[in-house]
Amino acid sequence: MLPFKASAQVAEPVADSKAVDLTSLGLQIGEQVPDLTLINVHNYKSTSINLSDFKGKLLILDFWATWCSPCVAMIPKMDSLQKEFGDKVQFLSVTYQKAEEAIPFLSTLEKRQGQKYDLPVVTGDSALKNLFPHKSLPHYVWIDSNGAVKAITSFEDITRSNLSNIVDGQEVPLGEKKDISIAYDWKDPLFFDESSAKFPITQYAVFSGYIEGLSPGYYNTQPIKNDKVPLRITARNQTIPQLYQIAMGKGYTFDWKHTLLQVSEPERIIEFDKNGEAYLSSLRDGRGFCYEIVAPRASGMDLYDMMVNDLAKFFPKHSATVQDVTQPCMALRQLPGADFNRLRTKGKSPSIETDERNILITNYTFNALVNQLNFYHSKERSSGVQDIFFFNETGFTEKVDLDITAGLGDLPLLNRELEKIGLVLVSEDRPIKMLVINDRP
């Protein structure tokens, strides 16, 4: 067998992996939409509807999910437009998620924002997604008053001006959303397999730019105890900091709150905008990369160390180190004489609800409160580091029920409320192990 060793090679994905625009597989602009009957309808006058019920209106299908932050951010805007345009326009929110997941989420959102949203919601959908295949969310399908597909767009086109002009019968140039996807099984090597290699390959390291249609992610086979499975690390469409987080985290991966960017132009390597479309656009514009390294399991190599060395070659303008960096921290501790017996859980279903004025945690340990604080105070600023780190040092491991009249952001008020139940947040600076990315001299 002739082994092939490569490092810092630029490669294309395997030849038989063709990028496909998923939207091209469904109904196209100008085609008539069949009169489907939809069930599992919520927040509407009936629990089932026919699409023909909306004939005579501009119908906009809003495909969304609870985990999609741009989708959730659009809910108040769509509700406002729905109220403004009345029976001339109808937004219909559609999610594949079950009612048990989506409806409580929407109820919590309404409580948090102090607003009642009147948009009808279809849960557990598969029929509409089969008609309009897509990959990224949010995804909008515009259906005209005659029941034909008018446009397939992202959220940027959902504007008052566009709706007003369309309702008035004017032609409006709307964007055309394309969802490019590649058929790829993350269990397989990304760049080479037995059918695509000209010669037998036993070991390689490959680097490429952004691959359109490939879902961002990371996979490694090092924990797999099987001599027949080679060692492999595959990073798909990742930024420079994310690649270093994988390599220097050695499997557990540094996250953003433990990453410090000390570079002169951070915007050149990472998009901090939480808008999903902006982030994907930045990956396409030269800030996204793929990397894969494969070696025989018997070699005993540390692929993470090899990945760090390769990244130094691929990105000579930057260097990365793991350091103890002093950061502002807060420790959650018991007050003297605190009795937590009255806080012990009553055994209801575990849940966490937070807004600007309340924290309601049911059937979780104090770790849940600390995790919520860490998440809330995690800031994707140019430094890439959160403003405060929180630790649970209560020593109490039982599950509790907490009902605190304070938000996660108002720490002085939160501390006053915590004191009432025998807790306190103590502020102090501590060394935190951080991934530090610098400009290379």
Give per-residue pLDDT as tens, 323-356: 999 989 999 999 999 999 999 999 988 888 887 7
SS3 32: strand
Report which DSSP code applies to 297.
G
In angstroms, rounded to a whole number, what is the distance separating the alpha carbons of residues 324 and 270?
A: 23
pLDDT of residue 202: 79
Burial per residue of 362-382, b for 16 or more beta-carbon CB atoms within 10 angstroms, e otherwise? bbbbbebbbebbbeebbebee
Please check whether residue 112 is in contact with residue 356, taking contact to mean a CB–CB distance below 8 angstroms. Answer: yes
State mean pLDDT over 35-42.
Answer: 95
Q: How confident is the model at residue 225 (pLDDT cuts 50, 70, 90)?
A: confident
Note the pLDDT tens digit of each residue in 73-85: 899 999 999 999 9
Tell me the pLDDT band of 213, cut-offs 50, 70 and 90. Answer: confident
Residue type, 391: F
- pLDDT at residue 40 is higher than 90: yes
Q: What percent of the chain has pLDDT over 70?
A: 89
Tokens (6 digits) for 91: 């937004």
The token pair at 35 is 């009169």
CA distance linking residue 98 with residue 375, whole number of Å: 26
Pairing of strands 9-10, 204-209: parallel
* DSSP state string for 167-219: HTT----------EEE---TTS-SS--TTT-SS--S-EEEEEE--TTPPPEEE
Contact between residue 38 and residue 50 where contact means Cβ atoms under 8 Å apart: yes
Residues 6+ apart with CB under 8 A from 397: 365
- When pLDDT is averaged across residues 349-371 and rounded to a whole number, the result is 89
Three-state SS at 106: helix
pLDDT band at 146 (very low <50, low <70, confident <90, very high): very high
pLDDT at 230: 83
For the stretch 306-322, pLDDT in tens is 999 999 999 999 999 99
Residue 312's φ and ψ, nearest 5 degrees, are -60, -35
What pLDDT sits at residue 17? 56
The answer on pLDDT for 231 being more than 50 is yes
Q: Has residue 46 got a pLDDT over 80? A: yes
| pLDDT tens profile 188-205 | 888 876 556 667 777 899
Nearest C-alpha neighbor of 404 from the set 341, 352, 360, 373:
360
* Cα dist from 371 to 131, 249, 332, 392, 414, whole Å: 40, 20, 11, 9, 15
Arithmetic mean of pLDDT, 44-50:
94
**Average pLDDT over every residue of 372-379:** 79
The predicted pLDDT at position 429 comes to 95
Per-residue pLDDT, averaged over 253-257, amounts to 70
Task: Specify the 3-state DSSP secondary structure of 104.
Answer: helix
* Tokens found for residue 316: 């000579």
pLDDT band at 1 (very low <50, low <70, confident <90, very high): very low
The pLDDT value given to residue 152: 96
Q: How confident is the model at residue 187 (pLDDT cuts 50, 70, 90)?
A: confident
* Residue 5: predicted pLDDT: 31
Q: What is the pLDDT of residue 197?
A: 61
Q: Residue 2: what pLDDT?
A: 27
pLDDT of residue 278: 65
Characterize the bridge pairing of strands 318-334 and 389-392. parallel
Q: Which residues contact 96 (CB under 8 A, 6 or more apart)?
A: 65, 124, 125, 126, 129
Per the confidence metrics, is the pTM higher than 0.75? no
What local confidence, expressed as pLDDT, does residue 142 receive? 98
Confidence of residue 12 (pLDDT cuts 50, 70, 90): very low
Q: Terminal CA-to-CA distance of the chain, rounded, Å?
A: 43
The tokens for 219 are 């996979």
Q: What is the pLDDT of residues 376-416, one digit of tens each?
A: 887 543 344 457 899 999 999 999 999 999 999 899 999 99
